[in-house]
Amino acid sequence: MKKLTIITITTILTISLIHAQDVTIPKIGVEAPEFTAHSTNGVINFPSDFGDNWKILFAHPKDFTPVCSSEILELAHEQESFEKMGAKIVVVSIDPLEQHNHWKAALEMVEYKDRHTVKIGFPLVADEDHAIAKRYGMIHTTADVSQNVRGVYYVDPENIIRAIFFYPNEV
* Mean pLDDT of the region 138-159: 76
Return the number of other C-beta atoms located less than 10 Å from residue 34's C-beta: 11
Q: Looking at the 3D structure of the chain, how many domains does it have?
A: 1
Average pLDDT over residues 138-156: 73
Q: What is the DSSP letter of 140?
A: -
Radius of gyration for the alpha carbons in the chain, expressed in angstroms and rounded: 18
Find the catalytic residue in 44, 68, 92, 118.
68
Count of beta carbons in the 10 Å neighbourhood of residue 110: 15
Which residue segment(s) compose the domain that 132 sits in? 2-167
pLDDT tens-digit series, residues 83-124: 999 999 999 998 999 999 999 999 999 998 888 999 999 999
Quick one: 9 exposed, middle or buried, by C-beta within 10 A (0-12, 13-18, 19+)?
exposed
> What sign does the dihedral 95-98-100-103 (CA atoms) show?
negative
Task: Kindly report, residue by residue over 51-72, the tens digit of the pLDDT.
Answer: 999 999 999 888 888 888 999 9
CATH code of the domain containing 7: 3.40.30.10
φ/ψ bin of 160: left (φ > 0), alpha (ψ from -120 to 50), beta (otherwise): beta
Confirm whether 68 is a catalytic residue.
Answer: yes
**Phi-psi category of 28—alpha, beta or left, where left has phi over 0 and alpha has psi -120 to 50?**
beta
Q: Which residues make Cβ contacts (< 8 Å) with residue 134, sequence separation at least 6?
A: 22, 23
